[in-house]
Amino acid sequence: MSSKNQANTSCGFRTSIGGQALIEGILMRGVDKQAIVIRDQNGELITKVEKLRFLKEKNPVFGWPFIRGVVNFLDSMVHGMKAITYSAQFLPEEEQEEPSKLDLWIEKKFSSGTAEKLIIGLAVVLGLALAVGLFIFLPTALVGLIPALRHGHDGLRTLLEGILKLVIFLGYMAAVSRMKEMRRTWAYHGAEHKTIYCYEHGHELTVDNVRRESRFHPRCGTSFLLVVIILSIFVFIVANAFLHVDNVFLRMLVKLVLLPIVVSLSYELNRWIGRHDDMLIAKILSWPGRQLQHLTTREPDDGMMEVAITSLKLVIPDEKGADKW
């Protein structure tokens, strides 16, 4: 960790407020509302605040442990995709991507509101399909090509699949982090972390105070993905010890079926780590995620920290402590 990131990371108060880096902006989600703050081409801040409606309010079952993990994960994906799409509107016209033929067809056939929902839904489905294909199906297929492991050796085979999955994930993140257009997004991610730390430490939300904070935060959504992958290795090893599935396609199906369980367990583990990040065991468990943040965060400039501060202030609840983790 560089000297500029050696700020105090322990805090008595842990907020449930979380964020996501966007294109030249940040999305912050609080307990009852979310705020999107974008810096436009003219350097002005564009703000958008929305009331949050949680599925658990419609049905308490969606808030139960080991169910809420999958629900919140999908809900975050949908809101995150909407926010990214919104932030892309403020790019210079020459940098905006042309809509695909499918997008144009959907916009032609449906009303604007329905078309937006369909396009966002399609983007979420394609994103999930890419993740499943890249991090579940591909490692299973590649290890299945090894003749000596096609029959038996369940534990070794699953372990190799998990290691390959981890290598693919880290390689993917490393490649993305080298993309020029992603460097500013990662810097906004760092600004989000530093601002939340500043708030948790009880300091006034100013650029100078935020600058002193660490950009490595234990309750990072990107780190959650790494927890999912690592935990999936152990879950699949246990499952295959009982199922003894040799066929590659059946192994893919088993992993797909078990994926919601892995996501739910990872969510609950992440919540526990977030509440107890001052304990040694929690620090050990959060260490891989913190290391991943060397790839997924960068030191922000003052303007980025201003965006993060503005977005956080917009979602801090009126009742002090209502956002306690």
What tens digit of pLDDT does each residue of 37-62 get? 999 999 999 999 999 988 888 888 99
Half-sphere CA count of 215, side-chain side, radius 13 A: 27
3-class SS of residue 317: coil
Percentage of the chain lying above the pLDDT 90 cut = 60
DSSP state of 98: P
Strand pairing partners for 324? Answer: 15
What was the pLDDT predicted at 4? 43
What tens digit of pLDDT does each residue of 61-92 get? 998 888 998 999 999 899 999 999 999 999 88
Question: Which residue blocks in the chain are alpha helix, DSSP H?
Answer: 55-58, 68-88, 101-109, 112-132, 138-143, 154-177, 180-200, 207-211, 221-243, 248-275, 280-296, 302-313
Integer angstrom CA distances of residue 85 from 23, 78, 124, 129: 9, 11, 12, 19
**All structural domains of the chain with their residue ranges:** 3-313
Confidence class for position 171, pLDDT limits 50, 70, 90 = very high
Strand pairing partners for 149? Answer: none
Mean pLDDT for the chain? 90
Residue 319, pLDDT above cutoff 90: yes
Q: d(Cα 294, Cα 237) in Å, to the nearest integer?
A: 29
DSSP state of 147: G
